[in-house]
Structure 1
Amino acid sequence: MGIDVSRASDARIQNFLLGGADNYPRDRQAGKELLALAPDAQRLARIHRAFRMRAVRYLAAERGVRQFLDHGPGLPVRGSLPVHQIARRAIAQARVVYIDQDPLVVAHARMMLEEPGTLVLDAHVLETDAILSGIKKAGFYDPTAPVAALFVSVLHCVPDADDPWQSVRHLIRSLPSGSYLALCHLASEDEDFREEVTSLMSESTDNEWACVRSVDQVHRFFEGLEPVGGPLGDVAYWRSTPDIQPQQTRRWFEYGGVARVP
């Protein structure tokens, strides 16, 4: 599938917000419209990238995880290392599967990330059976060893009608005991604001963007799991430097954390 530059894409909008070069005029227009409505959108993009790096570092260095499934890795930007480079600072043999269906993301991943110990799969992030089948076919990972499944600010692209909660539960049930879920999601307790952002971004991306969710809706992804490394909440403060001060007012934020599979 080719790259459609007539509509914005979530990955390219995020790339624009992060100061990257892999975006087109429609993406920049959508990004500017989002910033006009929510000026802290750029800050949230930086927060979820930083959370991914801290979560992977924690899981590899402190939990000994050497297998990662990165759902929706996004496009490269300066200052943000890919998962395999972060993990291998702690465990040289760490193996990472990058999963995305955005054609530009997949092309970049295959050019820049595919190397011994990494695998790039062109698949929707919730096509769990196809993803696990592809990994198995490639003989890529040990099905008895813990796996970290990463969903870092990607599930806002999945509508409620597709039941992303059930899909994440299905993946979790398919992983060995002692695996982990690292997830964050755009969240807001302001229903009107959720609807404003969702409407704007859904129109810009031709419905690739699904929705900002409430905290309770995001919290459901962690049902039955044990939070580790810190409590669930605004991931800006999950294992972050102690001098970061919480925002006094905020209309939305990245809610999530890391949790262990029993």
Structure 2
Amino acid sequence: MIDVRQASDARIHNFLLGGSDHYEADRAAARRLVDLTPNAGIIARISRQFLVRAVRYLAGERRISQFFDHGCGLPTRDNVHEIARRVNKAARVVYIDNDPVVLAHARMMLAGEHTLILDSDMMDSAFVWSRSEEAGFLDGGAPAAVLFVSALHCVSDDQAPLQRLRALVDRLPSGSCLVLSDLASDSAVLREEASVLMQELTGHEWARVRSPAEMDRFFEGLEPVGGPIGDVACWRPGAGLKLRTTDRMLMAYGGVARKP
């Protein structure tokens, strides 16, 4: 049973992207976030544009054919397998989430020969890997792309996200890539205010906003490719959204990095 009175991170994000899969609690939470940091809607779209560019780059220029979209969120117009298969017909995608609304929509809209949908904690890589292998969606000897886009702000420090992500990367073959982007701010005050507000509004589904320095640690030991680690609006930029960050604004921070 879904409690529509409780805001959900996936539905808030869907609202900020201009989608239609949300309830009044989600819309109210999104408005509160925009009141606090006015560029929240732009950041959601910048993150999505970055995901599109990163997947196209990896499937095309890097010829990666297996993608693992952790915390995939609600389906949108340009889903990972659609982006990847436009440039690499061999591409297959595993979508990972444990939000019941996300899973219901994913099974209805994303299921197919080239996709696998897993009901799982996105940090449970052992389960994801074993189920993907059983379903024939994992070639353990070929490079893979693991995606964490607009997801890690829902993973608390108590869940050891840095250690668990490194363990995931350790099991990947050479040439695999990490695609990671999430909310960040140089302002400790804004990070705290945004984290506390959204924890309250989402029933602690949110964890916290991190600093750029904390985000950099997820990329340690990897080689940035395609562009620098930083504001993802600047990663292989096209004609997309641009913005100037201030102390009262969040940024989408991350990049793409390759395992040597």
One-letter identity of the residue aligned with 1:9 = S
Please point out which of 157, 161, 166 is paired with 1:164.
161
Alignment of 1:109 with 2:106, yes or no, is: yes
2:206 corresponds in structure 1 to 209
1:33 corresponds in structure 2 to 32
Give the C-alpha shift of residue 125 in structure 1: 0.7
Give the C-alpha shift of residue 43 in structure 1: 0.3
**Length, aligned pairs only:** 259
Alignment of 1:96 with 2:127, yes or no, is: no
1:11 corresponds in structure 2 to 10
1:84 corresponds in structure 2 to 81
Q: Does the Cα contact within 8 Å between 2:42 and 2:241 map onto a contact in 1?
A: no
Counterpart Cα distance in 1 of 2:217 and 2:108: 36
Counterpart Cα distance in 1 of 2:18 and 2:85: 26
One-letter identity of the residue aligned with 1:130 = F
Alignment of 1:254 with 2:255, yes or no, is: no
Q: Deviations over 1:156-186 (max 9, x none)?
A: 0001111100111011011111100000011
Q: Deviations over 1:125-145 (max 9, x none)?
A: 101111111111212221100
Compute the RMSD of aligned alpha carbons: 1.3
Helix, strand or coil at the partner of 1:259: strand
Question: Counterparts in 2 of 1:53-202, with a 5 A limit?
Answer: 53-77=52-76, 80-202=77-199
Alignment of 1:22 with 2:21, yes or no, is: yes
One-letter identity of the residue aligned with 2:237 = S
The gaps in structure 2 that reach 5 residues or longer are: none
Cα distance change of structure 1 residues 243 and 25 upon mapping to structure 2, 3 Å threshold:
closer
Q: Does the Cα contact within 8 Å between 1:95 and 1:141 map onto a contact in 2?
A: no
Q: Deviations over 1:95-144 (max 9, x none)?
A: 10000001111111111111001100000110111111111121222110
One-letter identity of the residue aligned with 1:122 = D
Give the C-alpha shift of residue 246 in structure 1: 5.2
Q: Does the Cα contact within 8 Å between 2:245 and 2:251 map onto a contact in 1?
A: no
TM-score, normalised to structure 1, is 0.96
Identity %, equivalent residues: 55
Counterpart Cα distance in 1 of 2:8 and 2:69: 19
Cα distance change of structure 1 residues 106 and 243 upon mapping to structure 2, 3 Å threshold:
closer
After superposing on structure 2, the runs of 4+ consecutive aligned residues of structure 1 that deviate more than 3 Å are 242-246
Q: Deviations over 1:23-51 (max 9, x none)?
A: 01111111111111111000000011111
The gaps in structure 1 that reach 5 residues or longer are: none
Counterpart Cα distance in 1 of 2:81 and 2:163: 28
Counterpart Cα distance in 2 of 1:209 and 1:244: 25
